[in-house]
Structure 1
Amino acid sequence: MLVDLRSDTVTQPSAAMLRAMSDASLRDNARDGDPTVASLEEKAAGLTGKDAGLFVPSGTMGNIATILTRTRSGDRIVVESRAHIYRSEHGGYAELARVEPIPIEGESGAPPAAEVKRSLDAECGGSIRLVCLETTHNAYGGVVASLAEMEHIYREASSGGVSVHLDGARVFNASVHLGCPVAAITKHADSVVFSLSKGLGAPVGSLLCGSREFISAARQRVKMLGGAMRQIGPLAAAGLIALEDPFEFLENDHRTARRLAECMAALDPLAVEPASVVTNIVNIDLADRVDAGAFEARLRERGVLIGRRSNGLFRLVTHRDIGEAGIDHAIRSLEAVWAETGNSRSASLRGVH
C-alpha cells in the first residue's frame, strides 16, 4: 500500500471528473472563450461572493497577477512573515511586480490588525497598495484566520484606500473548520484565489475572483505571464465536478489529520500539539530527537511518503485519496519507524503533556 502524505496536490481525478473531462468542449478559450470555462468561472464567483472569476493555471499565478494589477513599481505590500506569497513564490512580488514587502508576524495566517493599522498609519496610506492574507495558512500547519480578525484588517485597509487580497488556496478547508460558507470568509477581501488541485481533487488550476473591473485587468496580466490557456474545457469540467459538494471529503481529511497528530503526540509529546491541527495539515517537529533522513527513508520503505521541510521538521497532508485503511497503515508505520529511530529522550517523554 502507498500512502502519499506529501501534499494534497497528489490527488487523482475521480471517475466523475474523468467522465466530465471526456465529454467537455474543446473551444479555444484564449481566442473565443469556452462555455465550460465560463461556467466554472461563474460558479467560482458565486461561491466566493464576487462578481467575476478567472481560471488560471496556478495559485501562484493568481497571486502575482493580483499584485501586478493592484500595484505599481515601487509600491509596498503588507504580508504575513511566513506567507506563501512572501516565502514560497520565488520572490515574484519583487522580480516581476517590483514591490517591497512589509512582513508582519502573525499566528493564524493574518498579521495582527493592530500591526497592519500601524503600518498603514506610518505610510499615511502612501505607498502601501495591498494587504495580503492567507487562510488556511500553509506554514503554520493549516490554521485558520478568525473572521473577526479578517474583518478588522479589511476595515482598516479599506478606510485607507488599500485593497486586500486573500491567498485562499485551501479556503474551502477554512470554510469547513469555521462552519460557514466560503463567501462569509472572502467578503473580507477584495480578491481571492483558491486552488482546485489541492483538497478539492481536480488535476489542474486555480480561480481568481473579484470585481468585474479587477478581473478584466487581471486577465491582461495573466496573458502577459503566459497564462492564457486554449483548449482547457476538460480541465474546467473537472473543476466543476470538484466544486459540486467537496465538504464531506474535506471534513474527513480534517478528521484523519487529527488522528495522525494524536498518533505522533503519543509517540513524542514535543512533536505536535493535536489541538492545533484544525484542517488537513500536520506539522511535526522532531528536531534533535530523530535522524530525519532515516525517519523519512524508513517510512518510504513501508509505503508512506511524507514531506520534509527542514532537518527534523516534517509535513503530513491528508486528502480525499487516503481512506481509513491508508491512515491506519500510516499510523502503524509511524509507530514502527519511531520505535526504530526515536531516541531515548523522546521515549522518556511519552505520556507527558
Structure 2
Amino acid sequence: MSKARTALEEMGKDGSFKRKDSAWRSWISNEEGAEFPPESGRYHLFVAAACPWAQRTLLTRALKGLEDAISTTVVHPTWRRTRPDDDEDKHCGWVFGAPKGSDETFKNSIGLGGPFPCHMDGCEPNPLFESKAVRDIYEKAKDTEGKYTVPILWDKKKETIVSNESAEIIQMLNGCFNEFAKNPKLDLEPEELKEEMASVDTWIYNTLNNGVYRCGFASSQKAYETAITELTDSFDRVAQILEKQRFIAGDQITLSDIRLFPTLLRFDEVYIVYFKCNTRAVRHTPAILNYCREIYQMAGVKGTVDMAQIKMHYYTSHPHLNKFSIIPRGPNFAKLLEAPHDRNLVANSKKQKVEE
C-alpha cells in the first residue's frame, strides 16, 4: 500500500485543515565532521515558482547572492498523477516539466480543463538524475513519510535530502554560505531582532501563511469561520505594523519578511478567490501594498516571481475545488508592484518622531 499523500488529506474531524510538520530536518553546519558542510556547488534546490514555501528559499538565495553557489530546478506548476501507469495509485503532486520544444499537453487529474502545456519556460526536467516527479526524489532518499513537498535542499554528493522545511532552509541560506555569497554582509536574522522575529513569525504562520490554507481547505463552515476571522484580524494587524515601521519585525528586512511576502504576493490573485479570503485585499491596503512593492523592487526579487505559474498551480491542481481548472484573469497584481513605493516616507516619519 502506497503511503503517498498530500496536504489535502491533513484534515481534522471538525473539518479544519491541520498541516503536519516537515520530516527532513538536517542542517548545513560549519562544525568539524559535519554531515552536511557548506560547499559551493554541492547543494541543489528543487522548488516550485508557484509554491509560497519554496519561494522563500528563492528569495533568500537571490538577496544573499547565492545563485552561483546553489543550483535550482523549478518543477511544473500543475499537480499531476505521480504514478500514471499504476491504476491503484491515485497520488497527485509536483512533476517535472517536459524538455524545451515539447508540444505535449495534458488535462487536469480528472481529465478536464486545459489543455495545459507539459513544457513551461523555466520548468525543466531534473538535471541530476532520471525522475518524472518530486516523489522520485523522496523515494531515492528512502523517504518513509510519503508527503512529497517542495522546497527540497538536496546534497549532490550524498545523494540525499538535507531538509524540506522552508523556515530552516532559509536560515541556512542566510548564515551558512556567506563565504560563497555575493552579499555576505546582509544578515536577514540579526541578533537584535530575533525576539521580535520569533514573535511575529508565530502568529503570521498560524493565521496568514497557513491561515489562507485553513480557509481554503476547510470542510465545515465552523472551521472556515474560525480561520477567516483570525486571518482578517492578522491582516489588519500587519497593516497597522507597516503603517508605523518599514518591515514586519523592525526597520530592516529579515527572514520574517521573507516568510510573509509570498503569502501577500498571492493574496489578491489567488487566495481572495480560490481560498475564500475575501474580507481584505492587498491592493486596497496602502501600507501592505507599498511594503510589497519595496520588496518586489529589491535586486533579484522580481526574478523569483512568476504570477502565471502561481495562478496555474492553484487553479489547475485541485479539481475538487475547481472542476474545470478555469484560471481567473485577476487584477494583474504583479503590474501594481512596478509602481513606486512610499517606504522611505514611513522610515523618515518614524525617525522624526524619535527625534521629537
TM-score, with length taken from structure 1: 0.28
Query: Which is richer in helix?
Result: 1
Q: Relative contact order, CA 8 A, sep 6+: which one is greater?
A: 1
Query: Which is richer in strand?
Result: 1
